[in-house]
Amino acid sequence: MPVDVNAQTIQFFACALSGGAIGVLYNLFAAIRRGFSFGRIATFFVDFIFWIAGTVVFFCILHISCSGEITWYGLMGVVLGLVLYLASASRFVYPLLLSLVKLIKKVMTLCLRVVIMPFYKIIKWVCRLFKPVKKLAQNTRKKTFNFVKNNVAKIKRLSILLKKI
């Protein structure tokens, strides 16, 4: 069986590029985790999505370049591409991705405020409208409580008289 060294070289470099793509994906998910500061459960799901996406990227590149054949030099290419990316370009790409994630977070926060602000104003206006009703209810409750508190003995005597009748 003849060995085509050119095809293997192209496959190796394609796998190395997929390793670099997985490195970019790793930096993107790390920036998302740091930018949005998830809880434990959400962090688990974000990590799970990263591993699923990384696996999909790896197998798509493997399918395109190597016709779906897993070879030792393909795996070495992925590892080499990932290590080279993390050792070199990651220092420059990660801060850019982090600033992009923070910008997206600010835009989302601004959009959310624009959407929520009218409802907040309406609720505040309704609360002001019902403030006198609230005070009236509080005053009525206080007066009723004070009346009952001051007249407990009379009420007890009245209930005893009513039981006798």
pLDDT tens figures, 117-143 = 888 788 888 777 777 777 877 888 888
Please indicate, yes or no, whether residues 91 and 51 belong to a single structural domain of this protein. yes
Mean pLDDT of the chain: 84
* Residue of 5, 9, 8, 21 whose CA lies nearest to 84: 21
The reply to whether 155 falls in a domain is: yes
Query: How far apart (Å, rounded) are the C-alpha atoms in residues 73 and 70?
Result: 9
Q: Residue 123: inside a domain, yes or no?
A: no
Return the pLDDT at 40: 85
Same domain, 9 and 76: yes
First to last CA, the chain: 115
**Looking at the structure, do residues 45 and 105 belong to the same domain, yes or no?**
yes
Q: Are residues 54 and 89 in the same domain?
A: yes
Q: Are residues 95 and 24 in the same domain?
A: yes
In this structure, what token pair is assigned to residue 97?
Answer: 């991705």
How many independent structural domains does the chain possess? 2
Structural domain containing residue 142 = 130-165
Instruction: Check whether residue 111 and residue 135 sit in a common domain.
Output: no
Give the predicted TM-score (pTM) of the model: 0.65
Do 93 and 142 share a domain, yes or no? no
20 with 72, same domain: the answer is yes
